[in-house]
């Protein structure tokens, strides 16, 4: 007999060849992973709050980020020693001029300068002294790594200014006359036009300008004007904001502000592009104000929600947790309005008496003022206008109370080695849930993560917050950790997590780690009621001659500079997981999941572990039980295409067409950047030939979402 190649073979050999071929085919079939969906059974409900956002002032998330203010250091308090972000503008070398920071509350400054505070919040100002006029002299603000100039754009500028000569220093009647010679009197010629410009950094190109008429007065006055760019202006961030004069005298400035248009045109609002990116994620909640930002380095630095309310004139800012001073323009009401604009719910974290450097306030009478403060804060959020704080919120412009369900007590209190959290949590919870029975307090110490530190006094917490910052290997290794969790324990809020690979924003490998981890949370969304990635934002600027590097934390979700923004591969994974999500889990079984060897860590070796494998394929399945749409998510973490057989048991009606959305790249390090924002983007297509049992090839390094239609 002749074989296919034409060679003559005997029957025995032929049978052996057939047998071998059969075995190989069987082996190949046996190795193909199979995901079998059981559509005969209704799975558990998917948590309606599953995917949300977490935010705090880190990486210039608000100042120089989402909060649309363009002036850096607008009340001059960012640095006690120098007017950071500001410089002197002097076009003609013949002029004699200088600028000086004046902190009116400092003890050791001249008496006349101590009268320069506008109020307790605006107690530091900038003085421009023009002793000799020649050409234009002024002050320039460099913005947050530049001021964004866009065509046909209107900017609202405002500032407090007063022009004055030096007066006789103030003296109490009993004080002796000063012995020092009087200060030189500069000709006071300050009244008149003051020019305001948006211009290139060298001052040679003016993009927009306007004037105000400075009155002759010894008192502070606020001036406002709009600046509009022409329609042929080329977008740039290499611009500055200048206020200038051509006359002698001393000019004092405070609360200098510049806003472009904002999302929903809110006054004191948010950047449009960044808000749109968030809204596109369809987040169900926003956890705020932190993170470490809630706690502050010291007890006195905790998020001071009361001084973040009302007009900007009454917001002094405070010492933040990430090395720069937040303006608190993004205050409590702005956080709430931000959630409202996204159609999301607030998850309010209240300061619980523990700060980052390790100080804590013990439960008991010393903690009571903090508990009362949290109750006031909750009243501000939820109280009607008959309450003290509800009326304050109405006066601030939002009469309608906000809907609140979850209050998180503190942040990462497992760092508090004193063991005081048990008592602190219980005191907060008793007061909060006592006054507001509709609220649920979240414990920041999770039973499973910190069994020896968990809250044991009082009622067991209903919800606990777990945090995970891992590399992709850890994510792949632990992606099924919740499959084994105790269902009789508290519900879980995964309140901070990320695969930390890539900087400033994450790369494709991180997105593959995230996606694998999310399939695990999704499959267990009867237990995982909420989850949010962190950190959300990063200003991607590196250090310049005048400004430090903008970010403190590598591997963030959304990057931006003054002019533009982009999503990391992880951002697109978050967005897709949130979009393509049913309300019920679909019971599914898998066979033949391939594995790969994980390189051993030092810890593994120390523990005597000699080899470790992790899966290369991850999946989750949910469905919309009203429409019959099934969402199958699959992650292939390897460099090879991977065939997957999909069986759909228990449905007779399957549309032969399905929607496929894929995020993929050529190598794990592939990423998006501010200059190349579209390297990795989701691609949507329609696939045909879907049946009850079909096979798909998953692309290398890919996250694939199949939207299948049953009950056509």
In the complex, which residues of this chain contact ligand AHR (CB under 6 A)?
56, 58, 290-292, 411-412, 496, 534-535, 553
Q: At what angle do helices 272-280 and 332-342 cross, to 10 degrees?
A: 50
Q: Do the beta carbons of residue 526 and residue 44 sit within 8 Å?
A: yes
* Angstrom distance (rounded) from CA 184 to CA 396: 45
Residue closer to ligand AHR by CB (options 295, 340) is 295
Determine the 3-state secondary structure of 663 from DSSP: strand
Question: Nearest-CA neighbor of 654 among 707, 693, 712?
Answer: 712
Look up residue 618 and give its two tokens. Answer: 């991850």
Minimal distance, residue 474 CB to ligand AHR, in Å: 16
Question: How many other CB atoms are there within 10 angstroms of residue 480's CB atom?
Answer: 16
Helix (H) or strand (E) run with residue 30 in it:
helix 11-31
Residues composing the chain: 712
* Angstrom distance (rounded) from CA 134 to CA 32: 81
Minimal distance, residue 517 CB to ligand AHR, in Å: 16
Q: What is the CA radius of gyration of the chain?
A: 31
Minimal distance, residue 503 CB to ligand AHR, in Å: 14
Residue closer to ligand AHR by CB (options 30, 298) is 298
Residue closer to ligand AHR by CB (options 326, 535) is 535
For 577, half-sphere exposure in the C-beta direction (CA atoms, 13 angstrom radius) is: 34
Minimal distance, residue 321 CB to ligand AHR, in Å: 7
Which regions of 592-666 does DSSP assign to beta strands (E)? 595-597, 613-615, 617-623, 629-636, 642-649, 658-664
Residue closer to ligand AHR by CB (options 84, 466) is 466
Residue closer to ligand AHR by CB (options 56, 142) is 56
Question: Nearest-CA neighbor of 622 among 573, 575, 683, 579?
Answer: 579
Which regions of 475-569 does DSSP assign to beta strands (E)? 491-499, 528-533, 537-539, 558-560, 565-567
**Cβ partners under 8 Å of residue 271, min gap 6:** 65, 66, 67, 68, 262, 263, 565
* Angstrom distance (rounded) from CA 68 to CA 54: 19
Minimal distance, residue 667 CB to ligand AHR, in Å: 27
Minimal distance, residue 578 CB to ligand AHR, in Å: 20
Residue closer to ligand AHR by CB (options 291, 461) is 291
Minimal distance, residue 43 CB to ligand AHR, in Å: 32
Minimal distance, residue 354 CB to ligand AHR, in Å: 12
Residue closer to ligand AHR by CB (options 347, 534) is 534
- The 8 Å CB, 24+ separation contacts for 25-28 are none
Residue closer to ligand AHR by CB (options 292, 620) is 292
Residue closer to ligand AHR by CB (options 289, 331) is 289
**Cβ partners under 8 Å of residue 16, min gap 6:** none
* Angstrom distance (rounded) from CA 497 to CA 517: 10
Residue closer to ligand AHR by CB (options 194, 534) is 534
Minimal distance, residue 556 CB to ligand AHR, in Å: 9
Minimal distance, residue 189 CB to ligand AHR, in Å: 51
- Which position has the token pair 């956890």? 287
* Angstrom distance (rounded) from CA 175 to CA 672: 66
Minimal distance, residue 73 CB to ligand AHR, in Å: 23
Q: Is 192 left (phi over 0), alpha (psi -120 to 50) or beta?
A: left
Residue closer to ligand AHR by CB (options 257, 505) is 505
Check the CA dihedral 426-429-433-438 and report its sign: negative
Q: Do the beta carbons of residue 574 and residue 54 sit within 8 Å?
A: no
Residue closer to ligand AHR by CB (options 517, 580) is 517
For 137, half-sphere exposure in the C-beta direction (CA atoms, 13 angstrom radius) is: 24
Residue closer to ligand AHR by CB (options 138, 535) is 535
Question: Nearest-CA neighbor of 264 among 273, 272, 253, 252?
Answer: 272
Minimal distance, residue 554 CB to ligand AHR, in Å: 10
Minimal distance, residue 199 CB to ligand AHR, in Å: 37
- Which position has the token pair 């472009």? 260
């Amino acid at each position: 007999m002749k074989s296919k190649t034409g060679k003559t073979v005997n029957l025995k050999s032929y049978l052996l060849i057939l047998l071998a071929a059969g075995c190989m085919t069987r082996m190949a079939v046996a190795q193909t992973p199979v995901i079998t969906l059981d559509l005969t059974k209704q799975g558990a409900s998917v948590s309606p709050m599953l995917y949300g956002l977490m935010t705090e002032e880190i990486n210039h998330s608000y100042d120089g980020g989402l909060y649309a203010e363009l002036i850096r250091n607008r009340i001059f308090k960012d640095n006690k020693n120098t007017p950071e972000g500001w410089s002197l503008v002097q076009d003609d070398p013949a002029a004699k001029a200088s600028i000086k920071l004046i902190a009116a509350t400092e003890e050791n400054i001249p008496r006349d300068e101590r009268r320069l505070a506008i109020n307790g919040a605006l107690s530091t100002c900038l003085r421009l002294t023009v002793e000799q006029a020649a050409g234009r002299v002024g002050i320039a603000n460099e913005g947050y790594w530049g001021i964004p100039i866009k065509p046909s754009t209107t900017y609202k500028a405002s500032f407090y200014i007063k022009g004055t000569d030096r007066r006789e220093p103030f003296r109490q009647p009993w004080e002796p006359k000063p012995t020092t010679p009087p200060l030189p009197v500069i000709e006071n010629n300050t009244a008149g036009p003051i020019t305001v410009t948006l211009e290139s950094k060298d001052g040679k190109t003016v993009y927009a300008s306007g004037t105000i008429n400075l009155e002759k007065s010894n008192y502070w006055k606020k001036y406002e004007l709009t600046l509009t760019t022409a329609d042929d202006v080329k977008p740039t961030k290499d611009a500055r904001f200048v206020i200038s004069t051509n006359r002698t005298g001393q000019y004092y400035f405070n609360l200098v502000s510049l806003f472009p248009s904002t999302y929903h045109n809110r006054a004191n609002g948010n950047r449009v592009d960044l808000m749109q990116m968030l809204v596109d994620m369809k987040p169900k909640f926003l956890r705020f104000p932190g993170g470490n930002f809630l706690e502050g380095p010291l007890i006195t630095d905790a998020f001071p929600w009361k001084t973040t309310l009302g007009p900007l004139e009454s917001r002094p800012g405070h010492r933040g947790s990430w090395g720069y001073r937040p303006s608190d323009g993004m205050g409590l009401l702005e956080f709430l309005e931000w959630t409202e604009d996204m159609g999301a719910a607030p998850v309010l974290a209240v300061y619980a008496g523990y700060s980052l450097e390790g100080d804590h306030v013990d439960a008991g009478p010393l903690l009571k003022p903090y508990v009362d403060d949290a109750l006031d804060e909750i009243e501000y959020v939820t109280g009607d206008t008959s309450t003290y704080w509800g009326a304050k919120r109405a006066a601030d412009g939002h009469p309608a109370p906000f809907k609140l369900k979850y209050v998180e007590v503190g942040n990462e209190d497992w760092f508090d080695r004193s063991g005081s959290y048990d008592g602190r949590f219980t005191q907060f919870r008793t007061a909060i849930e006592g006054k507001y029975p509709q609220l649920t307090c979240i414990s920041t110490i999770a039973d499973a993560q910190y069994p020896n530190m968990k809250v044991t006094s009082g009622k067991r917490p209903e919800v606990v917050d777990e945090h995970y910052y891992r590399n992709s290997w850890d994510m792949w290794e632990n992606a099924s950790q919740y499959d084994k969790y105790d269902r009789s324990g508290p519900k879980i809020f995964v309140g901070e997590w990320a695969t930390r690979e890539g900087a400033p924003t994450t790369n494709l490998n991180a997105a593959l780690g995230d996606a694998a981890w999310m399939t695990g949370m999704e499959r267990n969304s009867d237990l995982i009621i909420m989850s949010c990635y962190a950190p959300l934002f990063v200003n991607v600027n590196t250090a310049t001659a005048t400004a430090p590097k903008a970010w403190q934390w590598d591997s963030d979700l959304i990057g931006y500079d003054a002019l533009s923004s982009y999503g990391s591969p992880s951002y697109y994974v978050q967005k897709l997981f949130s979009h393509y999500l049913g309300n019920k889990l679909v019971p599914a079984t898998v066979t033949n999941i391939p594995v790969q060897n994980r390189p051993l860590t030092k810890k593994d070796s120390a523990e005597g572990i000699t080899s470790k494998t992790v899966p290369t394929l991850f999946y989750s399945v949910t469905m919309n039980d009203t429409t019959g749409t099934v969402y199958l998510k699959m992650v292939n973490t390897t460099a090879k295409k991977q065939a997957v057989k999909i069986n759909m048991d228990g449905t007779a009606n399957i549309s032969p067409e399905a929607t496929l959305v894929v995020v993929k790249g050529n190598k794990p390090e592939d990423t998006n950047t501010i200059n190349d924002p579209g390297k990795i983007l989701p691609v949507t297509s329609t696939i045909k030939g879907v049946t009850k049992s079909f096979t798909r090839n998953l692309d290398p390094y890919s996250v694939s979402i199949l939207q299948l239609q049953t009950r056509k």
